[in-house]
Structure 1
């Protein structure tokens, strides 16, 4: 099942096509809201948890819950008959290594910085779709990509120069891996339900991170949290794993299936705004540049979906 360049093609420009596009955008927005909730939670956990231990625990909690739901919804035959070899490849590289790099970047910078620099995702998605010949460029789509990236640049202008460095490079690499894995998840498992597609590649990420974690332990890395794991930290871990990874992943895969990876990735550029909202609730200050950046991204979403052309 190739990932279509125009998620609503075949439905025309009528109500059906608009309804699918609307649903896809709502799924993308919801996914980013869930994803954004993980940044403040990770900020708390990183104070005592080693990044490698935290990311492995995150995958373990999320995948355990998701596999239980997948088994309940689709049955064991669907789960056992899935293409686990491909899932390990896509999930291990794209989500395993990508998530670790994202968390490493946050440990070197801060949650808003990480969310802001991920604004290159729409450009990465566009390059991947053009390379795969699943999207043709139109002037409206090009303007949409440009607006989305501009929104990220506007928001990023509030950052201190010292925050741009190794941490930023980790975010860029992670974004490329995430975008590729998201496209592959929506494309390479056509016989699976949305919950199945979202779960199987995260399970691949868990396998990869478990191997890396065990290797780190074998060579002498200290992987134990620095303090006791109390109920507050368990709560933060549940948010970081179940909401910001598990639920966010399922919603994002569903959005990609309806919009394509490029347009779905536009919503990643609104994540800094959602992170800022959460941080404001927790006592931080309001940032008008980030709010303006989110508005420009929203304009890009509208522009890009106004003139899509099938490949």
Structure 2
């Protein structure tokens, strides 16, 4: 998911119908991404985090590269800065690994709730990298988001494993947001599909090396898919091609139409999407988690100035 202070496409006086379509695209991106988190529960303990991350990235890259080739042509692929793509993709790959490792310890709702802090993390990066001024609204928003995350996670019930899972998920947010920001700034001449395919391929290469070295040295065994069921393969495809390749591409398209400010608000619905999906499959409804996720959303709205703290002159 990308971070940029401006839309990727210069905004014009778009008709209301175009804005509605762009918001629907962004909503669909978040829904597909959220659906991948419960799907990951079927495969997340079958492979080590680095191997699952590598397989996930390889499948996503395999889905995106042919589309990029068909849309932009072979010449664009040859001219692309692949070395830089591997470098930026490495950050995204680290974020993907941290998400898998964090969800394995904290569960899909934890991953969704922590990921909902991404807009606030993006603003913090703007303060550090772009000189954005620290305001009372930003500080209050960060505090609300943190409090909401603690409430939704129920650390007392989950113990140290849940706390470590939340920390890994937050590391995923930091690295993924920074990597996505660099995707925009480092490859300004590429199309959205080009940016996505290049960096996801870079992430796949990086994670494949990280996962392959222990196997090559005899410290780990190669992944064995012989005992996997059709349901598990389907879950892996949803987690990889759906929740990564398709979701990321839709996200970049929506940011190009709406800008990062409006688009990033949609990620705050991810915890609710996950809870609704789990509830539909028989899980219990947890009002504490609902309240915590709502508090995270409130914090992000306050931090972005959507909900003002005081009267405006």
Shift of the alpha carbon at 1:180? 0.5
Residue 281 of structure 2 corresponds to which residue in structure 1? 282
Counterpart contact for 2:115–2:169, Cα < 8 Å: yes
Counterpart contact for 2:93–2:203, Cα < 8 Å: yes
Q: SS in structure 1 opposite 2:5?
A: coil
Aligned mate of 2:65, from 42, 67, 85:
67
Measured at CA, do residues 18 and 289 of structure 1 come closer, stay the same or move farther in structure 2, by a change above 3 Å? farther
Residue 178 of structure 1 corresponds to which residue in structure 2? 176
Q: SS in structure 2 opposite 1:71?
A: helix
Measured at CA, do residues 57 and 44 of structure 1 come closer, stay the same or move farther in structure 2, by a change above 3 Å? same
Measured at CA, do residues 47 and 8 of structure 1 come closer, stay the same or move farther in structure 2, by a change above 3 Å? closer
Counterpart contact for 2:140–2:299, Cα < 8 Å: yes
Q: Partners in 2 of 1:291 and 1:228 — Cα distance? A: 37
Pair 1:168-2:137 in alignment: no
Shift of the alpha carbon at 1:226? 7.4
Shift of the alpha carbon at 1:236? 1.1
Pair 1:113-2:110 in alignment: yes
Q: SS in structure 1 opposite 2:42?
A: helix
Question: Is 256-265 or 286-295 further displaced after alignment?
Answer: 256-265
Shift of the alpha carbon at 1:223? 3.1
Question: Is 222-231 or 176-185 further displaced after alignment?
Answer: 222-231
Shift of the alpha carbon at 1:246? 0.4
Residue 97 of structure 1 corresponds to which residue in structure 2? 94
Provide, for residues 103-159 of structure 1, a one-character-per-residue CA deviation record: whole Å limited to 9, x for no partner. 112222222122223343223211111223275566667666666555545533487
Alignment of 1:1-311 (within 5 A): 5-7=5-7, 16=14, 25-92=23-90, 94-133=91-130, 135=132, 151-157=148-154, 160-162=157-159, 163-220=161-218, 221-225=220-224, 228-258=227-257, 261=260, 264-296=263-295, 304=304, 306=306
Tell me the C-alpha RMSD between the 2 structures: 3.4
Question: Is 75-84 or 283-292 further displaced after alignment?
Answer: 283-292
Counterpart contact for 1:125–1:265, Cα < 8 Å: no
Counterpart contact for 1:63–1:199, Cα < 8 Å: yes
Measured at CA, do residues 11 and 198 of structure 1 come closer, stay the same or move farther in structure 2, by a change above 3 Å? closer
Measured at CA, do residues 257 and 205 of structure 1 come closer, stay the same or move farther in structure 2, by a change above 3 Å? same
Provide, for residues 172-231 of structure 1, a one-character-per-residue CA deviation record: whole Å limited to 9, x for no partner. 211110110111222321211111111111000001011112102023202323761332
Q: Partners in 1 of 2:262 and 2:217 — Cα distance? A: 42
Q: SS in structure 2 opposite 1:160?
A: helix
Q: Any gaps of 5 or more consecutive residues in structure 1? A: none
Measured at CA, do residues 19 and 125 of structure 1 come closer, stay the same or move farther in structure 2, by a change above 3 Å? farther
Q: TM-score, normalised by structure 2?
A: 0.82
Shift of the alpha carbon at 1:69? 1.0
Shift of the alpha carbon at 1:254? 3.0
Q: SS in structure 2 opposite 1:44?
A: coil
Measured at CA, do residues 141 and 101 of structure 1 come closer, stay the same or move farther in structure 2, by a change above 3 Å? closer
Q: Partners in 1 of 2:16 and 2:138 — Cα distance? A: 17
Q: Partners in 2 of 1:90 and 1:181 — Cα distance? A: 6
Q: Partners in 1 of 2:73 and 2:10 — Cα distance? A: 31
**How many residues of Structure 1 are paired with residues of Structure 2 in the alignment?**
303
Counterpart contact for 1:61–1:242, Cα < 8 Å: yes
Measured at CA, do residues 68 and 9 of structure 1 come closer, stay the same or move farther in structure 2, by a change above 3 Å? closer
